[in-house]
Amino acid sequence: MEAQLYALGHHVIRTYTQHILQMDLDILDPLPAGPKILAANHPTTTDPFYLLALSRQPMRLLVTEMAFKAPLFGDYLRGAGHIEVRRENGRAAYEAALAALRAGETVGIFPEGALSPSVDEMGRARTGTVRMALEAGVPIVPVGIHVDRRHVLTVETTIKDMTEDARWLPLGTYAMTVGRAVTLTGHVEDRDYVRQQSAALMQRIRRLAHVGARRVHAAAAFTEAIPGHYR
């Protein structure tokens, strides 16, 4: 049942991103085979779901507990095998993701640990992504996301006992740029190394997001330069 539910959700997301959302996806290097971590910045609440569109390979997403509290949708997330991240027990999500990687699965994660401070600004990476990669012995694939802030809707959202300011992007351009996989060679107990690599990972993601932004802006400028084009 889990595989069928995941396949259904994946089909819905790919259909939506291909026909309604203006998805701009550029994979600069083929995704490595086998287990891996896809690590992206987090400008909008919709990022975990759009991340599914970049590959046909099954992926377990780390998703905020608030989404799991939503009627029906929360049941779907559990049934499809995604991982709940609880505020008071982040360690459980870490262990679940680590177990998935060791079982040969791919995990999607947002190193900032929460929504980015703003649509255009990224936060600092927490160390969990790098530590997880070192413990599981898997590569990290950095993913940079760029969105048009004009299409982002910030809405105070309440589900059961939780209230958050959610940023939704139902329409508009959504650019994802997937970089080359990075394989780390240090030791998970080397705290300085883990912190340095976490900062370096976020810098890679930042550069990829900027690449996506330039791609989108260049396409917009080209379109506007076409004779007879009107905004």
| 226 pLDDT tier (thresholds 50, 70, 90) | low
Q: Lowest-pLDDT range, 14-18, 69-73, 178-182?
A: 69-73
Whether pLDDT at 168 is above 60: yes
Q: What are phi and psi of 106, to 5 degrees?
A: -105, 140
Domain coverage including residue 11: 2-225
Per-residue model confidence (pLDDT) at position 231: 45
pLDDT of residue 181: 98
Q: What CATH number did the domain enclosing 166 receive?
A: 3.40.1130
Does some domain include residue 57? yes
- With bands split at pLDDT 50, 70 and 90, how would you rate the model's confidence at 228? low
The reported pLDDT for the residue numbered 222 is: 58
pLDDT by residue (tens digit) across 108-155?
999 999 899 999 899 999 999 999 999 999 999 999 999 988 899 998
pLDDT at residue number 229: 53
Q: Is residue 231 part of a domain?
A: no
Instruction: Tell me whether residue 230 is in a domain.
Output: no
Looking at residues 197-204, what average pLDDT do you find? 98
Q: Tens of pLDDT along 46-98?
A: 898 899 898 888 999 998 888 888 877 888 888 989 999 988 788 999 999 99
Q: Is residue 218 part of a domain?
A: yes
Residue 103 located in a structural domain: yes
**Residues above pLDDT 90, as percent of the chain:** 64
CA dist., res. 215 & res. 212, Å (int): 5
**How many residues does this entry show for the chain?**
231
Which pLDDT score is estimated for 86? 87
> Does residue 91 form part of some domain?
yes
Count of structural domains, the chain: 1
Assess whether pLDDT exceeds 80 at residue 224: no
In a domain, 221, yes or no: yes
- Alpha carbon distance, N-terminus to C-terminus of the chain: 47
Per the prediction, the chain carries an average pLDDT of 90
- The band of 223, judged by pLDDT with boundaries at 50, 70 and 90, is low
